[in-house]
């Protein structure tokens, strides 16, 4: 209860209680004294003396309370209010220390605390402002990058609501004059079937790096697009969101189809005259076509022409299956896109997939079958279709089934000679069949239903997707404004690019034939280790690995049997480390293995070199142990047991140790590379300096 009262009131109550106690004590003392004397004549004297003593005591206590309240309690309250104002109300004015002159060091301490708080707040505000500016700059750069990306980019939540889209996406999925909007459902713009299936597939894999390629169509079915979906790692919520990139390949398809049609027409027109010319030359007697050598040259050139036309035509036919248009397309995506196109034409569609991947140009197949279905609807043959994909040997079979009159082969042939799309007058539907090396035909099924059959020569069952190669976006926009130093010696340590590396070997004696069995490296750019830039490979040493070495690094002869040889690996590593400062722990040992290959490969490892053994000696002194285990322990870096004495494990540990040593070196006054190298040379008795003496 008392804690709720103000400080001044509690002090007042304390002095009031003290006064009351003094009065009680005075009264008790006088009463006991009077009783001991037992003389009634002195009673009045006792009363007068007690009254005077009481007033003097009360006055004295009141005076002390007043002084304490004025010079202690009240200043404390004022100081508390001033500190609270500076802590919560962002007051920045100076505090009046004179009001607390009787409180000893409390006032100066409070003033210093308030000043420190103000300085800290200002420094924090400046830091926040700098980071906000930097983040805004990066945001602007990323927005500029995404605006220039030639594909549509959508960012969706787990319940398929739009959280981000770029300008290209507006052009691709906008419905009429209505552009997409944030927090709107994606399915207001795109057909939901393929998207839901792809989202469920990615979640089922449990692989955060997996991606799924699919075909999507707008709700109107007017546009079919190629898409790729990738889950957002670390996204909150029970269902992860995803990034969907969209590419409208209709124009690409049209351009490719026109080119293919033109090439087919060129070869068809050239092939016949060339064959006729060759036949004509053969029936003309030798010497009759032209005199002497001219006749021989003419026959020879005609033969070359016919052979060239035949070879080029064959190469063109063989290469049709190797280009961009024929890719592995999921049958469910194909059927969903086909359903969208057919329903847009007023047809009723049911689908049945077989979980196959069809090697085809999904856009052309959709355009072909949708066009034929539209023709059948106009001809009154069918308005409702059942689309079925089934396995057919090593390929797949697409069936378009209906209940109604049969489709004459002659009419189908007429339709196949029509343009694939209204805007592609030069591309016929029949060219799609030629592109896929297939045919299409109508037939009657045993149950009396009609079917249009389209075989796809190559198909395979869908299997679990292997883990994709990580393609994380790697960036550091600070590099755009970073000032470059012409000389490494004058460069600050934070401004240099480093390659930290480590090797595992067959032994410790390179001069006696020991060789590298594994080498790993990471890059440090702008003061941070770049996760996506890693060099890590086993090496075939062309000699047995001793059991004693295998016990250290765990690499066996069987593991390196198919690995590249040291010459190839060293050349690749030299390219990886180009323009960087090399860093290693006990660098002379690792560098000797690399420099042994210089003469054979015709290259030089003339990079600047730093050794974390020597850097540790600069920071901690030569009396300390400077092994990698000791250094990482001092710096609070943990090397997993399974990673110790592996090239990549020791490399990452060395890189992290170096990044922690850099500010410690700067704190000792060694901020530039040259200053560090000069200091390192003082510790040459530990390890030799590998840099050229200036």
Catalytic positions, written as ranges: 645
Residues 211 and 65: their CA atoms lie apart, in Å, by 79
Helix (H, G, I), strand (E, B) or coil at 490: helix
Helix (H, G, I), strand (E, B) or coil at 54: helix
Beta strand pairing status for 441-444 and 384-392? Answer: unpaired
Residues 309 and 271: their CA atoms lie apart, in Å, by 6
Locus of tokens 């005259």: 273
Beta strand pairing status for 581-584 and 609-611? Answer: parallel
- Say how many C-beta atoms besides its own lie within 10 A of residue 441's C-beta: 12
Q: Spell out the long-range contacts of 593-601 with Cβ–Cβ below 8 A and sequence spacing 24 or more.
A: 593/503, 593/505, 593/510, 593/514, 593/515, 593/516, 594/570, 596/510, 597/566, 597/567, 597/570, 600/567, 601/567, 601/570, 601/571, 601/574
Closest to 79 measured CA to CA, from 48, 42, 104, 52: 104
Helix (H, G, I), strand (E, B) or coil at 498: strand
Note whether 575 and 603 are within 8 A (CB): no
> How far, CA to CA in Å, does 45 sit from each of 28, 30, 54, 378?
16, 11, 14, 134
Note whether 476 and 528 are within 8 A (CB): yes
Note whether 691 and 609 are within 8 A (CB): yes
Residues 357 and 519: their CA atoms lie apart, in Å, by 40
Sheet containing strand 327-330, strands side by side = 327-330, 356-360, 459-461
Q: Three-state secondary structure along 420-450?
A: CCCCCCCCEHHHHHHHCCCCCEEEECCCCCE
- Strand partners of residue 480: none
Residue 459, Cβ density class (10 Å: 0-12 exposed, 13-18 middle, ≥19 buried):
buried
Note whether 248 and 172 are within 8 A (CB): yes
- Say how many C-beta atoms besides its own lie within 10 A of residue 541's C-beta: 22
CA angle 205/211/215 to nearest 5° reads 110
In the chain, DSSP finds a helix count (H) and a strand count (E) of 21, 18
Note whether 560 and 540 are within 8 A (CB): yes
- Strand partners of residue 256: none
Helix (H, G, I), strand (E, B) or coil at 154: strand
Closest to 347 measured CA to CA, from 382, 309, 389: 382
DSSP state string for 261-296: HHHHHHHHHHHHHHHHHHHHHHHSPTTTSSSTHHHH
- Strand partners of residue 213: 228
Note whether 220 and 175 are within 8 A (CB): yes
User: Looking at residue 71, what DSSP letter applies?
Assistant: I
Q: Please name the helix (run of DSSP H) or strand (run of DSSP E) that holds residue 537, with its range, or none.
A: strand 528-538
Radius of gyration of the chain (CA): 44
């Amino acid at each position: 209860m008392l804690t709720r009262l103000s400080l001044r009131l509690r002090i007042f109550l304390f002095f009031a209680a003290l006064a009351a106690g003094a009065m009680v004590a005075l009264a008790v003392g006088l009463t006991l004294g009077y009783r001991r004397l037992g003389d009634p004549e002195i009673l009045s004297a006792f009363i007068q003396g007690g009254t005077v003593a009481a007033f003097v005591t009360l006055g004295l206590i009141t005076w002390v309370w007043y002084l304490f309240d004025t010079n202690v309690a009240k200043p404390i309250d004022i100081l508390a209010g001033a500190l609270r104002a500076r802590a919560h109300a962002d007051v920045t004015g100076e505090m009046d220390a004179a009001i607390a002159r009787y409180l000893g060091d409390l006032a100066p301490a409070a003033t210093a605390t308030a000043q420190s708080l103000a300085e800290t707040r200002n420094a924090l505000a400046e830091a926040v402002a700098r980071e906000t500016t930097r983040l805004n700059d990066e945001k602007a750069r990323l927005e500029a990058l995404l605006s220039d990306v030639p594909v549509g980019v959508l960012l969706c939540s787990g319940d398929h609501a739009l959280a981000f889209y770029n300008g290209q996406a507006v052009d691709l999925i906008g419905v009429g004059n209505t552009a997409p909007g944030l927090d709107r459902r994606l399915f207001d713009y795109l057909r939901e079937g393929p998207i839901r299936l792809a989202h469920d597939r990615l979640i089922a894999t449990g692989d955060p790096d997996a991606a799924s390629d699919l075909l999507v169509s707008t709700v109107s079915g007017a546009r079919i697009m190629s898409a790729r979906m990738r889950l957002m790692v670390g996204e909150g919520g029970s269902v992860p969101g995803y990034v969907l990139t969209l590419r409208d390949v209709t124009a690409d398809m049209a351009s490719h189809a026109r080119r293919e049609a033109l090439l087919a027409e060129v070869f068809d027109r050239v092939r016949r005259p060339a064959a006729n010319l060759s036949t004509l030359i053969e029936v003309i007697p030798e010497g009759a076509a032209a005199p002497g050598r001219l006749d021989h040259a003419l026959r020879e050139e005609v033969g070359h022409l016919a052979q060239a036309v035949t070879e080029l035509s064959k190469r063109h036919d063989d290469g049709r299956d190797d280009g961009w248009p024929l890719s592995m397309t999921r049958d469910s995506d194909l059927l969903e896109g086909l359903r969208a196109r057919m329903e847009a034409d007023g047809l009723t569609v049911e689908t049945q997939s077989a979980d196959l991947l069809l090697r085809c140009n999904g856009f052309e197949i959709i355009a072909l079958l949708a066009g034929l279905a539209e023709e059948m609807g106009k001809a009154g043959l069918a308005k409702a279709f059942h689309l079925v994909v089934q396995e057919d040997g090593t390929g797949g079979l697409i069936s378009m089934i209906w209940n109604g009159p049969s489709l004459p082969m002659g009419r189908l042939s007429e339709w196949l000679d029509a343009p694939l799309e209204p805007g592609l007058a030069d591309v016929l539907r029949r060219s799609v069949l030629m592109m896929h090396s297939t045919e299409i035909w109508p037939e009657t099924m045993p149950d009396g239903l009609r079917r249009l059959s389209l075989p796809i020569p190559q198909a395979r069952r869908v299997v679990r997707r292997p883990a994709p190669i990580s393609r994380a976006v790697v960036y550091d926009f600070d590099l755009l404004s970073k000032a470059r130093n012409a000389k490494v010696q004058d460069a600050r340590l934070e401004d240099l690019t480093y390659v930290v590396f480590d090797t595992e070997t067959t032994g410790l004696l390179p001069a006696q034939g020991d060789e590298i069995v594994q080498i790993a490296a990471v890059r440090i750019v702008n003061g941070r280790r770049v996760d996506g830039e890693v060099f890590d490979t086993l090496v075939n040493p062309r000699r047995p690995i001793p059991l004693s070495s295998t016990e250290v690094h765990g690499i066996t002869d069987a593991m390196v049997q198919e690995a590249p040889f040291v010459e190839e690996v060293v050349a690749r590593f030299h390219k990886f480390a180009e323009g960087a400062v090399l860093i290693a722990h006990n660098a002379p040992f690792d560098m000797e293995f690399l420099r042994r290959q210089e003469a054979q490969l015709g290259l030089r490892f003339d990079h600047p070199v730093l050794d974390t053994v020597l850097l540790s000696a600069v920071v901690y002194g030569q009396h300390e142990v400077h092994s990698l285990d000791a250094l990482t322990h001092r710096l609070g870096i943990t090397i997993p047991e399974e990673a110790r004495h592996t090239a990549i494990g020791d490399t990452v540990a060395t890189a992290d140790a170096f990044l922690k040593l850099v500010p410690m070196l700067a704190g000792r006054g060694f901020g530039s590379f040259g200053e560090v190298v000069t200091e390192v040379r003082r510790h040459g008795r530990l390890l030799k300096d590998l840099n050229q003496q200036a």
